[in-house]
Amino acid sequence: MFDKKRQRREAKIHPYLAGNFAPVLGEYVMHPCQIVEGSVPLELKGGQYIRNGGNPANPPEEGRHYHWFDGDGMLHGVFFPEDGDDRAPMYTNRHLATPILSLSLFLARSPLPSISLLISPLSSLHRIITAILHTFMLALEARVGTLSVANTNVLWWGSGLGMEANDEVTKGASDISGVTNDIKKIGDKAAEERDGRLLALCESGPPLEVRVPELETVDWDRLEDKKTGQDLRDDRKGWGWRRWGLGRIQEDWVTAHPRVDPINGDLVFYACQMFETPYVRVSVIDRHGNHKVWKQGVDCGPAKMMHDFGCSRKYAILLNLPLTLTPMNLLAWRPKPMIHFDRTLPSEFILVPRDGVSPPARFIDPEPSMVFHTANSWDDVDPQTGEETVEMVACRFRSAKLVYAAGAMPVPAEEFRAGIDDVVRLHYYRFVFSHDAEEPYQISHCFPLSEIPAEFPTTHPYRLMSKARYVYVCSMKEGGFDERLGGAAKVDCLVKADVLRLSQKGIKRGKGKGSAVDKRTVMEIVRQQELLLDGEAPQGDDAAMQVFALPDGWYAQECRFVPKEGKDLDEDEGYLVTYVYDERYIKENGIASCDVGAGSELWIIDAKRMYAGMKAVVCRLKLPQRVPYGLHGVFVPAEQIRKQRILPEPLPPQASLLEKLYQSRLSHFVDVIFTRPQYRERSLPESIAFHTMLPLGCVFLVMALTDVANGHFRMYGMPGILIVISQAWRSWTPYLHRDDVISKLPIPQVRKLLGAVAYAV
C-alpha cells in the first residue's frame, strides 16, 4: 500500500521540483573540478563565475503551492586560479545564511507564502491574509528583521568600477604624493580602492554581502552613505508615525536587478512599495558610496510588480506595466489575486532622469504587455530631426502566462486567450522626445527583432548603456518560455543577436509597430549553419542571428559574456560561460541521479564562433554535483576580486547546510516525523468515527473548561464583565443550562470515552 502511495507522490512531483530543478543539499567549498576538454582562457584566470537561484532547504509537500521564484538562495561558483597557479578550477556552492533560512530549518518548512498563493485566482481572501499574517507573526516572534531569501541575482559593486575609476585613482595617487606624505590619506585612498563586494539580491529585502571565492555570507548591506550615514532604513528611525506604518516592512527592499554604469561606476536602482505612496522610488549612488539621488518618488498609479528596468547614461526606464501587486486587489468588488495582470491598464514606460532634478517623461503603449528582463538601453539622437531618443531592447510578452507557468498553475481563461501564439521575443523600443508640443513623448518604433523565443539576456559588460551591437539570450528549439506542456521550460539553445543590424532594418520600414524583422525559427537557423563549410562564417542578414544548439538531452542556463583582452577587437570577441546538465542522468521517476559523475558541467564557449556548434566550446569542466536550473549570475574578473573590501574582523566558520539540519533544535522531532509513515488511508468506519468524535470532543472540552472556571469563580469571585457575559450566554442558550438535562449526562465518563476513541483513531 505504501509503495503505491510513494509512486503516486513521485508521479505528482511539481515540475519545478523535479529533475534538475530539484534542490541540492550537499555543499562543496573550493572543490577541484576535472577539465574534460580544452583549457581555461587567460581572461578567466583569477576570476570567478557565480550564479544564484532558489534552492529550498525544505521543499513543500505534495499539493502545496510552489513557484520557481520561491526557495532559499544558493550560490554556485567556479573559481579559476590565476595564471601560473597549477591548481584546477575550484567549485563552491553555499546556501545564503539568511534569517529566513534559519527559521526554515527550525520549522522544517518555509515560513514564507509561495508566490503561487498570491497569483492563484482560487486563493481566497482569508487564506492569503492568514498566510501573510502567519509569516509576519513568525518573523516577529523569531526576531527576523528581514524577510529576504536573496535568491534571484548577484552583482559586483564597489569604488573600483567604471572606466573613470582608474583615471581617478591615478590622479589621486599623484596628488597625494605631490602634496603631502600624510600616511593616513594614503591609507584612506587604498582602503577606498578596496571596497568591492559581491551582493546577492531579490525584491524582498536589501542586498546581502558575500565573500568570494568561498561564498561566505557576511551581512545585509543597506548601502550606507559614507558621508551622512544615511541608509535604506533611515526613514523608519525615530518615533514618527512612519516607524509604525506597514511601509516599514518594505523600506529597505530594492530591485533584484540594479545597474552599474560602466563609465562612472554609479549604482542605479529602484525600490517598490505596496503599502505607501509613492510606490516606486529611484536611487543613484556613486562609486564612492555617496547618495546622488535617494529614494526619489515616482507616481505609477496602482502598485506594480517590477522585476527589472532599463537604464541608459541619462535615464532610468521604469516598466510601469499592468502586472499589479497590491492588497487592494483582494478588496475589489470582484476580488482578484494579490498579483494580477490588469488588462485594462496600458503599458507605460517612465523615463526618470538620473540627475534627480528634471521631471520624469512618460511614454504610453495602449497595448498591455509584460517585460521581465531588459537587455540594454542607450541614449541617441535622431540624425534627421535632431530629436533626443532613448532606445531599449527587452524581452517582451503580450500576456502574463509565464507568471502562472513558472508555478505550474492553470492559466486564467482571459490570459490564455490573450496569450495564444504569444512568444517572448527580443523587442526594440524607440522613445522620442519630440519637438511636437502637443505630443512631446512618443514611442516611434516598437517591434520584435526576431521570431525566436528569447529570455535571460546578457551583453558585453563594458558596452552596457551604450550602443552595443550584440545581445546574447537563452532560447529553445521547440516551444516557448511561457508553455508548460506538463513540465518546465528548459534552455537548449544560446543565441547571439545583432540588435543594431536588426533594429536599423526595422526602422527603415517606417514608424509604428511591426512584425519580426528576422522571421527564421531556431531550427531554420541551425540548418543554415550546418551547411557552412569548415572555417566559413555566416554573412549578411544570415549573420544577424547565430544559434549555439546544445546536443540532444543537454540543457543550459543563463550565460555571462567575458570579453577578450586586447586592442581593436570586435565586440563579440569573448567567451560565454554557463552551466549545462545532461538529463540522461535523470531517472524514469523524474528524480535526478546522485551517482558519482552525474553532476553538471561548466562550458566556456567562443562567442565569435557560436554558429560552429560544439566546435565553439573551448573548455568543459566537470563539477562534483549537479547545479539546479536557476536564475541570474555574474563573472567577477581577477582585478575586481583583488579589490574586495577588507572586513574589520574575520568571519566565524560557517556550517554547511547538512550540519545545520543535524544541529537544528527540531532534529529529533524531524526524525520522529520521517521514521513513521506520513500517509495512511483510513477505512470508512474510521473516517466516520473521526469526523463525529472530533467536534463532540471539542464541545465537551469547552464544557469542561466552563466547569473549571465556575469552580474558580465560586471560590475567588467573578469579575463584573464576566458576570455580564455569563448572564447573556445563559439567556441565549437556556437549553444548555437546564439542571434536569445536565444532571443526567455522565459528562466525565463521556469525556474519557471520547478522548480514548479519538486517540485510537
Q: How confident is the model at residue 374 (pLDDT cuts 50, 70, 90)?
A: very high
C-alpha cell at 631: 536564475
Residue of 392 and 6 predicted with greater confidence: 392
Which of 629, 664, 681 is the C-terminal boundary of a domain?
Answer: 681
Measure the CA–CA gap between 580 and 555, rounded to whole angstroms: 5
30 located within any domain: yes
Residue of 714 and 615 predicted with greater confidence: 615
**234-248, 260-274, 596-610: which has the minimum mean pLDDT?**
234-248
Give the residue-averaged pLDDT of 75-82: 95
Give the residue-averaged pLDDT of 505-534: 91
- Residue 672's pLDDT is 44
**Span 105-114, pLDDT tens digits:** 877 788 888 8
The verdict on 655 and 614 lying in the same domain is yes
- Residue 122's pLDDT is 64
Measure the CA–CA gap between 266 and 269, rounded to whole angstroms: 10
707 located within any domain: yes
The verdict on 657 and 755 lying in the same domain is no
- Residue 480's pLDDT is 73
Residue of 519 and 138 predicted with greater confidence: 519
Asked whether residue 292 carries a pLDDT value surpassing 90, the answer given is yes
What sign results for the dihedral spanned by CA atoms 132, 138, 144, 148?
negative
**Hey, what amino acid is at 710?**
N
Q: Which of 481, 398, 456, 415 is nearest to 119 (CA)?
A: 415
Asked whether residue 674 carries a pLDDT value surpassing 70, the answer given is no
> Torsion angle, CA of 446/447/452/456, rounded to 10 degrees?
-10
Q: Which of 502, 515, 513 is nearest to 545 (CA)?
A: 502
Asked whether residue 182 carries a pLDDT value surpassing 60, the answer given is no
741 located within any domain: yes
- Residue 610's pLDDT is 94
314 located within any domain: no
Q: How confident is the model at residue 4 (pLDDT cuts 50, 70, 90)?
A: very low
Asked whether residue 190 carries a pLDDT value surpassing 60, the answer given is no
Asked whether residue 170 carries a pLDDT value surpassing 60, the answer given is no
The verdict on 441 and 470 lying in the same domain is yes
- Residue 273's pLDDT is 86
- Residue 578's pLDDT is 97
- Residue 432's pLDDT is 94
CB 555 within 8 A of CB 20: yes
> Torsion angle, CA of 676/680/684/686, rounded to 10 degrees?
20
**Which residues share a beta bridge with 280?**
272, 298
- Residue 240's pLDDT is 55
173 located within any domain: no
The verdict on 531 and 414 lying in the same domain is yes
- Residue 407's pLDDT is 78
**Span 539-551, pLDDT tens digits:** 988 999 999 999 9
pTM: 0.83
Asked whether residue 347 carries a pLDDT value surpassing 60, the answer given is yes
The verdict on 715 and 602 lying in the same domain is no
Q: How confident is the model at residue 707 (pLDDT cuts 50, 70, 90)?
A: confident
Provide the 3-class DSSP secondary structure of residue 600: coil
Q: What own/partner pairs with CB < 8 Å and gap ≥ 24 does 661-666 have?
A: 661/25, 661/57, 661/105, 664/105, 664/106, 664/108, 665/106, 666/105, 666/106, 666/107, 666/108
Residue of 130 and 530 predicted with greater confidence: 530
- Residue 283's pLDDT is 95
Asked whether residue 517 carries a pLDDT value surpassing 60, the answer given is yes
Residues in Cβ contact with 303 at an 8 Å cutoff, skipping those fewer than 6 apart: 272, 273, 274, 279, 324, 325, 326, 328
User: How many contiguous H segments (helices) and E segments (strands) does the chain have?
Assistant: 17, 34
Asked whether residue 3 carries a pLDDT value surpassing 70, the answer given is no
Q: How confident is the model at residue 677 (pLDDT cuts 50, 70, 90)?
A: very low
Domain residue limits at 533: 369-385+398-549
Which range is most confident: 244-253, 365-374, 675-684? Answer: 365-374
The verdict on 402 and 532 lying in the same domain is yes
Q: Which of 280, 442, 279, 445 is nearest to 364 (CA)?
A: 442
**Hey, what amino acid is at 88?**
A
Backbone angles phi, psi at 183, to 5 degrees: -65, -35
- Residue 440's pLDDT is 86
Measure the CA–CA gap between 591 and 70, rounded to whole angstroms: 20
Q: Is 89 exposed, middle or buried (0-12, 13-18, 19+ CB in 10 A)?
A: buried
Residue of 450 and 691 predicted with greater confidence: 450
169 located within any domain: no
The verdict on 573 and 664 lying in the same domain is yes
The verdict on 381 and 519 lying in the same domain is yes
Mean pLDDT score of the chain, rounded to an integer?
A: 82
- Residue 33's pLDDT is 95
Asked whether residue 166 carries a pLDDT value surpassing 50, the answer given is yes
Give the residue-averaged pLDDT of 638-657: 89
**H/E stretch holding 49:** strand 48-54
> Torsion angle, CA of 422/426/432/438, rounded to 10 degrees?
0
**Which residues share a beta bridge with 37?**
620
**Which residues share a beta bridge with 73?**
54
Give the residue-averaged pLDDT of 358-368: 93
The verdict on 732 and 659 lying in the same domain is no
**Hey, what amino acid is at 359?**
P
272 located within any domain: no
Which of 640, 666, 681 is the C-terminal boundary of a domain?
Answer: 681
Q: Which of 670, 554, 672, 549 is nearest to 610 (CA)?
A: 549
The verdict on 41 and 136 lying in the same domain is yes
The verdict on 121 and 54 lying in the same domain is yes
**322-326, 390-394, 581-585, 710-714: which has the minimum mean pLDDT?**
710-714
- Residue 206's pLDDT is 92
Asked whether residue 499 carries a pLDDT value surpassing 60, the answer given is yes
Q: How confident is the model at residue 664 (pLDDT cuts 50, 70, 90)?
A: low
Determine what percent of the chain is predicted with pLDDT higher than 70: 81
Backbone angles phi, psi at 269, to 5 degrees: -155, 170
- Residue 229's pLDDT is 86
Measure the CA–CA gap between 96 and 119, rounded to whole angstroms: 26
Asked whether residue 679 carries a pLDDT value surpassing 70, the answer given is no
Question: Domains in the chain: how many in total?
Answer: 3
Asked whether residue 702 carries a pLDDT value surpassing 50, the answer given is yes
Which of 531, 549, 567 is the C-terminal boundary of a domain?
Answer: 549
Give the residue-averaged pLDDT of 64-69: 82
The verdict on 732 and 587 lying in the same domain is no
345 located within any domain: no
